[in-house]
Structure 1
C-alpha cells in the first residue's frame, strides 16, 4: 500500500461527468464487433452525386477510415505492452498518436512486403486506403492539432539526415507536406553530438518534458525519424488545493483501494474529467483490471462520450508525475511488423542506392496531474541504418487505473495507459 497526495473535489462545488456504477457491467456485456474498417453511411458511397461531391466524400471517408484504424491500433498496442511479464506491477503510459504518426511517416519510404506489414500493423486496409490517403489523413490530423487555439498543444514530426546520405527528394517532400516534418542535416559519425541535437529538439517541442529520447545511436545510422506530442490542459473545474491531502492507494489486490467514504468509492465507475477545451481525461476503475484491458475498444470510447451525464459527487484522484520508456522493437514485431528490422527490410522509397533497415523504435512519455490540470508529452524515435551494419537489440520496457486522453469530437486518442503505482 502506498501513501500519496490525493486530489479531492468538494461535493457541493463540483458537477462530475460520469457513468456511475455500471462501467464494468457494460464492458462485460458490450461486444467489440468488426475490428476491420467500417463505412458509415453518412460518408456517402452513392453513385447519384456529382463528381466533385464524390471526391470530397472519398476524402472524408479516407480520413474516417484512418481515424478508426488509429483507434484500434491504440488498444492493440496497449494490449501488447501490457501482455509482457515485465509490465506486471508497473505503470503503462504512452501516446498512440505519436507512435502511429512515426510509423505512418516511415511507411512513406517502405515498399513491398515491408510496406504491407506496416499498413497491416497500423490497421490500414490496403484495399481501401492508399499511401496518399494515409498521408493526407495525417496531414489533416496534425493541422487540426496545431490550429486549435484554445489548447496548449502541439504535434509534429522531424527527420534528421546524415550529411553524406541523400534520400529521395519525394520522400522528404511528402514528410514535409503531409507530416509537417522539420528537416535537419547532422553528422551521425559524431554520435554523441547527433544524439544531443535530436534530444534538444524534442525537449524544446515537448516543453522540457521529454529531455532524452535518444540514449545512444547506432554507428551506421543515416537517418532518424521522430514524432512528438505535447498537451497541457486545465480542468474545467479545478481541484481546490486546500482539499489535497495524503491518502492510501491500492498497489495490489491484497490492500484496500483507498480510504474513501462509502458514497465516493466508485469501484465500477468510468469518470470523465473535462478540460476547459474539447479534450477530456477518462479514468476507468474496474473490479477486475484484466477484464477491462481485454475488452476495451473504440466502441466503448464512443459510448462513454455519448452516454455520460453530469452528476454531483466527491471525487478523489491521485496527484502524481510518471515517466515511461520503451523500446518497441519486440512489440511491433509481435504485431506483424517484422521485416523492417532485418535483412528483408524494403525501404527503397527512402533510397534505391543503399539498403536500409530500422535499428530501433523507441518511445518515451510523461504525465503530470495536479489541482489545476494535466500535462502529457511523448516522443517516438525511429533509427534508420545501413543494413550492412544492422543490429537489433532486444529490450523490453513496459509500464498498469487506465488513463486515456482524447479529443472528444474526433475521438482521437492522444494518450493511453494504466497507472499501478503513481509513486514510482
Structure 2
C-alpha cells in the first residue's frame, strides 16, 4: 500500500501521531459511532483513566523490552506522552479502530465513554500544568495541512480537553513543515528534543503531537566533591567506566523480597520523585512489575542512613512504535482498515507512524527528562551503613507521588551509550 510515511513522534517529552491519506479503497468498516455520553462521576473517570495509564506504562515497557531493536540498549520513554497522543487520536477514531485504541490503552469501554476519557485528560493535563513547579509541562499540538479540513468538533475537543495548539502548514513543502514541527517541539522541551520529525511524506495531512518536559532538583543534592570515576558492570563480562556520584544520607528504601529488588526513592524539590530499582535478576523485575508494586513501595518504604552511589549520565532514545502498538492490538489504524472518520468523512485516513523520543540527564543537582526512565538498585551491607550502589543494570521511574502518575519509565543497562 502506498501509504504516506508520516512520523508520530513521542519523545519522552513528546508524542506525535502522523495521519495521512490512505491510497487504497478501504473495506466496509463498522461505521457505528461510539456513544459519547457525559459520565456523571468525573472524579471516578479520572481515577479509572489514571489507573489505566499506569497499567499501560508497564505493558508498553514490556513490549519495548521484548522488541529486537531494544536488545542491548537502554530503554527510556514517557508513558504519559504516548497515552495522551493516542487518547487524542481516539477522539477521531470510530468503529473497530476506536475499540482497538481504547482496549490498547486499557480503557474499559463499559465504564468509560470517549467523553469521559477526554474530560479525564483535561483534568490530568490541568493538574500537571497547574502545579506550583515551573519545571514540568505537558501538552499537545495538531498541525493541519492548508487544504485539509478536519471536522470542527474534532479540533474543538482537542483544543478543549487536550489543550492542543493548532497550526496550519503546507505539507507539500515537507522540509519546511518538518522544520515548523521540530521548532515547536524544541521550544516546548527546552531544547531537549530538537528533531522529532526526520522527514515527512507529501501525502501527510495532519500531525498530532504530545510533549512532556520535567526538570527537577534533588531535595538533597549530591556533593561534587564525592563524585569519582568507577566501574559499571553491564554484564558478567563487561565493565565500563562511569562518573559515580556518592552520598551517605537518610533515604527512603524498600527491599521487595518477591521481586528480589531494592528500591530507592530520590525525592525532588516538589511532589515528584525518581524511583531507582536495583534487581538481583533484571528479567524478574521487568516481567512482573506493575502499578501495585509502586503503591506498595511508596507505602512501606523506611527511612534509613544509606551510602548511595548513582552514575551521572545522559541518554537519548528514539522509537518507532508502529510494530509495538500493533503487537498491543492497535492494528487497524496503520492500514487500509483504519476508521478515522471522526477526523474527516470525506477523506480516508490512516496513521503512518507513531514515533517516540526521550532524553534523561542525571547529575548532582537533579534530573531533566524529556522521556521515560528505568533504573535498578542493589543493596549491599559491607559495614554498619548499608551501601546501595547502582553499578549494574537498573530500572528508573519518575512519578508524581500523590497520584502515582508515571511520567517516565526506563532501564539503564549501560550509562555510557
TM-score (norm 1): 0.79
Q: Which of the numbers 297, 301, 318 marks the counterpart of 2:290?
A: 297
Deviations 1:234-282 (A, max 9, x none): 00000001111110001113357xx999999xxxxx1000001100000
Q: Shift in Å at residue 37 of structure 1?
A: 38
- Which of structure 1's runs of 4+ aligned residues deviate more than 4 A? 16-39, 43-57, 259-264, 379-400
Seen in structure 2, the aligned counterparts of structure 1 residues 20 and 228 have a Cα distance that, compared at 3 Å, is: closer
Seen in structure 2, the aligned counterparts of structure 1 residues 318 and 115 have a Cα distance that, compared at 3 Å, is: same
Which structure's residues are more often helix, by fraction?
1
Q: Shift in Å at residue 232 of structure 1?
A: 0.3
- 1:109-258 maps to which residues of 2 (within 5 A)? 109-255=92-238
Conserved in 2, the CA contact under 8 Å of 1:210 and 1:364? yes
Seen in structure 2, the aligned counterparts of structure 1 residues 38 and 385 have a Cα distance that, compared at 3 Å, is: farther
Conserved in 2, the CA contact under 8 Å of 1:108 and 1:174? yes
Q: Shift in Å at residue 181 of structure 1?
A: 0.2
Q: Shift in Å at residue 36 of structure 1?
A: 34
**What CA distance in whole angstroms lies between the structure 2 residues aligned with 1:244 and 1:414?**
28
Task: Say if 2:93 is the partner of 1:87.
Answer: no
Most deviating of 118-127 and 245-254: 245-254
Seen in structure 2, the aligned counterparts of structure 1 residues 308 and 419 have a Cα distance that, compared at 3 Å, is: same
Q: Shift in Å at residue 87 of structure 1?
A: 1.6
Seen in structure 2, the aligned counterparts of structure 1 residues 395 and 292 have a Cα distance that, compared at 3 Å, is: closer
Seen in structure 2, the aligned counterparts of structure 1 residues 344 and 67 have a Cα distance that, compared at 3 Å, is: same
Q: Shift in Å at residue 88 of structure 1?
A: 1.8
Seen in structure 2, the aligned counterparts of structure 1 residues 26 and 139 have a Cα distance that, compared at 3 Å, is: closer
Conserved in 2, the CA contact under 8 Å of 1:18 and 1:310? no
Most deviating of 62-71 and 373-382: 373-382
Seen in structure 2, the aligned counterparts of structure 1 residues 190 and 55 have a Cα distance that, compared at 3 Å, is: closer
Q: Shift in Å at residue 378 of structure 1?
A: 3.7
Deviations 1:316-371 (A, max 9, x none): 00100000000000000000000000000000000000000000000000000000
**What CA distance in whole angstroms lies between the structure 1 residues aligned with 2:201 and 2:3?**
48
Which structure's residues are more often strand, by fraction?
2
Q: Shift in Å at residue 20 of structure 1?
A: 47
**What CA distance in whole angstroms lies between the structure 2 residues aligned with 1:24 and 1:246?**
34
More contact order relative to length (CA 8 Å, sep ≥ 6): 1
**What CA distance in whole angstroms lies between the structure 1 residues aligned with 2:348 and 2:9?**
50
Conserved in 1, the CA contact under 8 Å of 2:149 and 2:344? yes
**What CA distance in whole angstroms lies between the structure 1 residues aligned with 2:300 and 2:308?**
19
Q: Secondary structure at the match of 2:283?
A: helix
Conserved in 1, the CA contact under 8 Å of 2:139 and 2:162? yes
Structure 2 gap segments, 5+ residues each: 240-256
**What CA distance in whole angstroms lies between the structure 2 residues aligned with 1:146 and 1:292?**
32
Conserved in 1, the CA contact under 8 Å of 2:144 and 2:168? yes
Structure 1 gap segments, 5+ residues each: 1-15, 265-269
Q: Secondary structure at the match of 1:384?
A: coil
TM-score (norm 2): 0.80
**What CA distance in whole angstroms lies between the structure 2 residues aligned with 1:362 and 1:131?**
24
Deviations 1:74-119 (A, max 9, x none): 0000000000222221100000000000000000000000000000
RMSD: 14.9
